[in-house]
Chain A
Amino acid sequence: MENLLLKVENIDVFHGDAQALWGVTFNVEQHKITALLGANGAGKSTLLRTISGANRPSRGRILYSQSLLVGLRPEKITAMGISHVPEGRRLFSSLTVLENLELGAYLPSVRPLTKESLERVFGLFPVLKSRIHQSSGTLSGGEQQMLAIGRALMARPNLLLLDEPSLGLAPIVIKLLFDTIRVLNQDGVTILLVEQNVRKTLEIADYVFVLKTGVMTMEGQPDQLLTNPEFRRAFLGRIG
């Protein structure tokens, strides 16, 4: 694993007095899809939010291609090439689809590329093109998730953090989204995916980490995990 894009080393994160992450260590390899699995409240979102600067670790380091991220503000981290698609999409619902996308390219370094970036996003999600003047609050759940991902792509990230993109969506929409995530990855975007949809995640991930109540408990390639009895008991019990 010499092509590391992101190294998270031994971080502790607190929400007030409650500790959410305990000495978490993991790596994201360049051009790969890395996934984080875990139940509700395991600390997956906290981990993503710590990488993108919304939370601060009280201990440990986060390295992104040789530079230290800890202590930087979210907008600075975005400017370094990490885009975060937060849980629940967090669109600007009174703004139109086009305005949401334009704001994705707010950074001065990517603003001149707005037109090309828009073409790229509409190539990935053609349905958005037919909705550009609609306010984003009126979109369906699937369309909103596409817009949230498209908006993050407007910043031309190297590393895309996706927090539960499948949440609340119909299976057919989930399939479409995961196909698109794979296409994005083939285009050279490194992906860190947080999910609860275990089977879908194992289909597309190159490497998987498992987080349980704030501690990294397991890791491995999907086929390794599928033969790991502990993993099967925890995640595939009813199916397996």
Chain B
Amino acid sequence: MHWFSSSTTFFQVLVNGVFLGCMYGVAAIGLSLIFGCMQIIFIAQGAVMILAAYCIFWMVSFSSISPFWGFLFIIPVFLGFGWAMYSGLFQRVAKTGKNPSLLLAFGLMVLLEQLMAFFFSSNFRSVPTKYASTALRLAEVTFSVNRIIVAFVAFISTALVFLFLRKTIIGKAVRAVSEDMEAAAFLGMRPEWVSAVTFSIGIALAGIAGVATCIIFPFDPYFGFIFSLKALIAVAFGGLGSVGGALLGGVILGVLESLSAYIIGGGWADAAAYAVFLLVLIFKPEGLLGRSYGEKA
């Protein structure tokens, strides 16, 4: 470990990476759910995150509510937002094929970015929290309280989505529709309804990731795009269709970035992460925990 001045530094860099990766992970789970069910690459995921970040920014600016309550407020609002987006836009477009859906998602991203820039200006905003400077120290490694809360929320969301998919009949229907929409309809499931549920959960997860982002980073209306890319990479890392894989993919990406930023310098963090991403695509294209698609009869 001669790259690091001490093992404490190494662990500190590692911990920072894990926290960063948790945010990528939550956004990635949403992306993975939406892609798995509807084959839509929802490139606007990052813009939706930033919209959630602005919601929290204005909530905190006009009231004394702690931004952490934003998690509770953002979930129902963004579930509804997702439902409206799906039934108003994607449900119609999805019938015409995958490319129109991708174009629609791209258009939506640009629209959201421009609307936010128009109404909220392109200035960087940040959300102050009570714990901004509070940190826990454990064996010389610092854990900022903000980041611990964010990581906690990430794990809770992942666990809830996982339980939803495994234990509830609607969750099982989501998995069934993701595999074979027509066979699911033959059993009485309404694919559009199940897709709307999935899309809404995906958007709510983007909302959660957005709240997490605004607690940790200053942001502007265009800050989301890089998160969409990172979430896509996290999904590819973990494997499509795997919730745990998406979170793990996010964490791996976060750690990679954090380590390469420390070892070869900040400007190289993204390049190193993308290089590893390419290697994964070449040598393990189904992702680390991905389901294999070879089983279908």
Contacts and interface: CB of A to CB of B under 8 A. Distances in A.
A74 B182 contact: yes
Interface stretch (B47-55, B86-94, B173-181, B208-216): B173-181
B188 A88 contact: no
Nearest to B182: A54
A75 B175 contact: no
B172 A99 contact: yes
A138 B291 CA distance: 13
Nearest to A87: B297
Given A94-B291, A95-B172, A95-B179, A104 B297 contact: no
A155 B186 CA distance: 10
B149 interface: no
A131 interface: no
Given A94-B241, A94-B295, A137-B295, A103 B182 contact: no
A75 B169 CA distance: 16
A151 B187 CA distance: 8
B183 A78 contact: no
A236 B190 CA distance: 43
B42 to A, nearest CB: 22
B136 interface: no
A46 interface: no
A86 interface: yes
B184 interface: yes
B185 A103 contact: no
Given A99-B172, A102-B172, A92 B180 contact: yes
Interface in A21-58: 52-54
A107 interface: yes
Given A93-B295, A94-B295, A111-B169, A104 B179 contact: no
A91 interface: yes
Contacts of B59: none
Contact of A94 (B175, B182, B186, B189): B175
B296 interface: yes
A214 B297 CA distance: 26
Contacts of A104: 187
A78 B183 CA distance: 11
A73 interface: yes
Contact of B175 (A53, A73, A91, A95): A95
Nearest to A114: B169
A235 interface: no
Contact of B188 (A90, A92, A106): A106
A118 to B, nearest CB: 14
B186 A106 contact: no
Contacts of A154: 187
B175 A155 contact: no
B182 A90 contact: yes
Contacts of A111: 169
Contacts of B169: 102-103, 106, 111
Interface in A84-132: 84, 86, 88-95, 99, 102-104, 106-107, 111
A190 interface: no
A155 B188 contact: yes
A94 B179 contact: yes
A144 interface: yes
Interface string B107-123: 00000000000000000
B176 A90 contact: no
Contacts of A53: 185
Interface in B180-221: 180, 182-190
11 contacts: A54-B185, A73-B185, A75-B190, A79-B188, A90-B183, A92-B179, A93-B296, A95-B172, A99-B172, A106-B169, A111-B169
Given A86-B186, A106-B188, 14 more contacts: A75-B187, A75-B190, A78-B188, A83-B187, A90-B182, A90-B183, A92-B180, A93-B295, A95-B172, A103-B173, A104-B187, A106-B173, A137-B295, A137-B296
> Considering the complex of A and B, which 6 residue pairs feature the smallest CB-CB distances, nearest first?
A137-B295, A90-B183, A107-B188, A74-B185, A78-B188, A93-B295
Interface of B: 169, 172-173, 175-176, 179-180, 182-190, 241, 291, 295-297
